[in-house]
Structure 1
Amino acid sequence: MSFYILPLAIGPWQIALIVVVVLLLFGGKKIPELMRGLGSGIKEFKDASKEEGDEPANDKK
């Protein structure tokens, strides 16, 4: 097993630590706004990728 993969393993304690740090940095009132913005960004990305996939490829010969 490679030693480069081990640091990428995230367990429950690391997730809890990340949540606590985010709460301390942004506060409880700001997090719903951040998540709402993240969700709308993901939705726009999915819509844009669907539109890109729906267009026929005219450059194929």
Structure 2
Amino acid sequence: MKIGMVAVFAILAAIHLSMREYPFGGTTQTVLDILMIVFAAIVVGTLITSLTAKKQNEADPPGDPR
């Protein structure tokens, strides 16, 4: 799922940037810019959470009687 999220974000970002009117667009482009930033933050947050959970599981495996 995480690789899929990164792939979807990369594809959407490439499409968005290729259709964008530089330097400024209208309201629709501004809203899409904000949505792309929010989606990027979600993807990065998901990846960071996944990595920290993986590190935690490696450091403290389930069933470890500590």
TM-score with structure 1 setting the length? 0.50
Q: CA deviation at 1:48?
A: 0.3
Q: State how many pairs are aligned.
A: 41
Provide the C-alpha distance between the structure 2 equivalents of 1:56 and 1:29, rounded to a whole number of angstroms: 39
Structure number with greater CO (CA < 8 Å, separation at least 6) is 2
**1:46 lines up with 2:41 in the alignment:** no
State which structure, 1 or 2, has the greater radius of gyration over its C-alpha atoms. 1
Q: Does 1:28 align with 2:12?
A: no
- 3-state secondary structure, aligned to 2:33: coil
Amino acid at match of 1:49: K
Moved beyond 4 Å, runs of 4+:
56-59
Structure 2 residues not aligned, in runs of 5+: 1-9, 20-30
TM-score by length of 2: 0.47
**Backbone CA RMSD of aligned residues:** 3.2
